Amino acid sequence: FYAVGIHEILDMWLGVSERNMHALFEQARKTSPAVVFLDEIDALGQKRGNPSVAALRGVTNTLLAEMDRIGRAEKPIMVIGATNTPSGVDTAFRRPGRVDRVVFVPPPDLKAREEILKLHLRGKPVSDIDLGKVAPTMKNFSGADIRAAVDRAVEQAIKKAMHTGKTEFITTKLLLDSTKEVHQSTEEWLATASDYVRFSNENGTYDQMKLYLDKNS
C-alpha cells in the first residue's frame, strides 16, 4: 500500500516530478499486487487546459500514461485518488480503464462520529464520557474537526492539571465545551458542492452528492 502525498511527487526542478511519478509506479509494479493511494489527486492530475498550471501538464500526462500500464492481470495495481475538488481533475482520468468509479465520501454520520471519537480518545485519561451526547452535537464535522475538538479538550484538561497538580480527566462536559469552539470545516465545501450539483452535473458525476444534499438539506 503506497499512500502518496503531493510533496512526495512535485518538485521545483524541471522533469523531476515526472520521474518521481514514474518511480512510484515502477516500485508498485515490482511489489504488486499493490494499491497506490494518491492524496489531492487534483494537484497531480490537474486539467491540462488551464494555462495557470501549464508547468504541471507533464505530471498529469505521466500519471495518465502510468495508469494505462497497470491493467496486467498478473501484476494488478489499484489506483485510488482523493480530492475535495473533483472538478479540478482532468477529464481524461474518467475514461474507462483509468478512474472507473467516482465515490462520494460524505461527512461522517452519527455512528461514524462515535467511532472517530473513540479512536481519538483511546489511551487518554477519560471519565464518564457519554458519546451519545457528544456525537450528535458534531453534525457535519469532518474527521479532522472531531480530532480538533478532542485536542482542545485535552489542552483544557492539561491546563487544569497544571493548577491542581493531579491528573484531570476528559469529561463529557469538557468535550461539549470544546465542540462549541470548533468551526465546521465542511460548511463551505458543502455550499460549493451544492453549486456543482446544480450547474455541473450533466453527466451524473455528482449524483451521489446530490442524494446526500437532498437528504440532509
Phi first, then psi, for residue 39 (nearest 5°) are -80, 145
Phi first, then psi, for residue 77 (nearest 5°) are -135, 130
Which residue is associated with the grid cell 471519537? 117
| pLDDT tens series, the chain, 217 aa | 999 999 999 988 888 999 999 999 999 999 999 999 999 998 888 877 766 566 678 888 999 999 888 867 778 899 999 998 888 888 888 888 788 888 989 999 999 999 999 999 999 999 889 999 999 999 999 999 999 999 999 999 999 999 999 989 999 999 999 999 998 889 888 888 888 788 877 778 888 888 888 888 6
CA–CA separation, 177 and 188 (whole Å): 23
Report pLDDT for 54: 64
CA–CA separation, 197 and 205 (whole Å): 9
CA 37 from chain center: how many Å?
11
CA–CA separation, 151 and 178 (whole Å): 9
